Amino acid sequence: MRIDVLTLFPEMFAGVLGSSILKRAAEPITNPADPDDVRSPVANYHVTNLRDYADNKHQKVDQPSFGGGPGMVIQCQPVWDAVQAVEAMDDRPATRILLTPQGEPLTQPIVEELAQLPRLLMIAGHYEGIDERVIEKLAPIREISVGDYVLSGGELPAMTLIDAVVRLLPGALGHQDSAHQDSFSPGAKRLLDHPHYTRPRTWEEMDAPDVLLSGNHAKIEAWREAEARRRTEERRPDLLDNDPT
């Protein structure tokens, strides 16, 4: 998958895209048992500075809002020109995404849908937003929100969406079932995940559940399902509407 990001602050992405699972997904991986078996990167990232497409020597891309009020608005021209130029860099069709508080709430099913696509182009707005006319001209464009709150810009939401999507790409995780069993995922029946425990067996006079050390896989699975439902009932009862059972 190719992921493009248009932003005024490209330096914000270096640490996130160059760390952990996102870094691993963008690198070729060699099978330790077979040096000739090399997995190609499952994702590649391209971060573009919107200021590079400004039409003035000062690289200014924002202006005061018509009608008055605080804050600045990103102009149409640099956004439009950047999208056209970046999309022309690759033959794969790009699904355009605008990160905005006015968008549809991000959910795991949306992430799963996006993870099936060959290319995503994310636009991270800033200031008071982007001139509505270029948003309309870029249609079809999917507007996505990461929650009912406001951030300084779309950069952090873009990073969130990238992380959520990339970890679902085949080969991105060490064990693909990890993503399938996560909270909100099909393997978890769209519920919250069950509690997890590891060594030592006793810590601060608290014991890990005996059933998890029983070796009885049927009982372990039943315990995990019951705990997932209990936790969901306590913390997110609204999710029970999505439970097929």
CA distances from 27 to 34, 39, 93, 101 (A): 17, 9, 23, 33
Q: How far apart are CA 219 and CA 50, in angstroms?
A: 55
Q: How far apart are CA 157 and CA 149, in angstroms?
A: 11
Q: Is 128 a known active-site residue? A: yes
Catalytic option among 4, 10, 78, 167:
167
Determine contact, residues 41/50, Cβ cutoff 8 Å: no
Q: How far apart are CA 61 and CA 39, in angstroms?
A: 40
Q: Is 101 a known active-site residue? A: yes
Instruction: Pick the closest to residue 114 from 174, 44, 161, 48 (CA basis).
Output: 161
Catalytic option among 87, 90, 101, 227:
101
Catalytic option among 182, 193, 225, 227:
182
Q: Is 237 a known active-site residue? A: no
Determine contact, residues 43/3, Cβ cutoff 8 Å: yes
Determine contact, residues 60/43, Cβ cutoff 8 Å: no
Catalytic option among 128, 143, 163, 193:
128
Identify the DSSP state of 56. Answer: S
Q: Is 209 a known active-site residue? A: no
CA distances from 63 to 51, 58, 68, 78, 127 (A): 13, 13, 11, 12, 10
Active site residues: 101, 128, 167, 182
